[in-house]
Amino acid sequence: MYTIAICFNWLVCGLCFFGVSQFIGQLGGNIFVNVALSAIIQVPSTLFACWATKAWGRKKTLIIANVLAGVSIFLIGFVPSDPAWIKSTLSTIGMFGLALAFPTVYIYSGELFPTVLRNIGVGTSSMCARIGSMVAPFVAALASVQFWIPPVIFGTVPLIGAILCYKLPETLDCKLPDTIEEAERYESNNNKKKDGDIEMK
């Protein structure tokens, strides 16, 4: 379940991050402003991820990022085209959420897999993002059929990823698992570790 959940969240990042970046050109209004805003917002969102993953934890940060991105992008398909700033604002908020999710899922997957499988686990998860990025242009092109189809897909997928995150354990300040057995007992091991720290104190 951990592998399925984290791989799907990598798929979310690849599909939605690159897909929305391409779809922004079809939002209407000033295309140069829209693209510039989507690029600029990635700087503060990445810096914010450095703070959030430490303050909120990996799990909560990824859930918040997915929900923020999913809701804002989903709404793009149904809000009015005039005034144009509404869709531009929603796309900027969506890109903030996606740019927040990408570095978070990098850290999360590295801490989630046990040492004996960490390389292949992170590599397999990353491969799912590449699959998503390959599919992204085709989803964005569906706007030529119906404009609302791409934002509905790009908005729904992160929300599913957020739901799957509930199956993942929190890894902040926890001992990384060395074996598969330790990874399967992740939550109980971490609880015991925390109880031991309390007793020592």
pLDDT, one tens digit per residue, over 148-196 is 999 999 999 999 999 999 989 888 888 888 888 887 776 655 555 544 4
Mean pLDDT of 73-92: 88
| pLDDT value, residue 155 | 95
Axis crossing angle, helix 2-23 with helix 58-76, rounded to the nearest 10:
40
Question: Cβ contacts of residue 172 below 8 Å, gap of 6+?
Answer: 53, 54, 57, 58
Give the other-Cβ count within 10 Å of 51's Cβ. Answer: 10
- What percentage of the chain has pLDDT greater than the value 90? 55
Asked if the model's pLDDT at residue 6 lies above 50, the reply is yes
pLDDT, one tens digit per residue, over 95-116 is 999 999 999 999 999 888 888 8
Domain ranges within the chain, ordered by starting residue: 2-172
Average predicted confidence (pLDDT) for the chain: 87
Q: Is 141 exposed, middle or buried (0-12, 13-18, 19+ CB in 10 A)?
A: middle
Residues 38 and 154 sit within 8 Å (Cβ to Cβ): no
For domain 2-172, give the CATH superfamily: MFS general substrate transporter like domains (1.20.1250.20)
Q: Report pTM.
A: 0.85
What does the alpha-carbon distance between residue 105 and residue 5 come to, in Å, rounded to a whole number? 11
| pLDDT value, residue 200 | 29
Chain mean position to CA 167 = 15
Mean pLDDT of 46-69: 94
pLDDT, one tens digit per residue, over 11-38 is 999 999 999 988 887 777 778 888 888 8
- Cα end-to-end span (Å), the chain: 35
| pLDDT value, residue 188 | 59
Amino acid at residue number 24: I
Where does the pLDDT of residue 201 fall: very low under 50, low under 70, confident under 90, or very high at 90 and above? very low
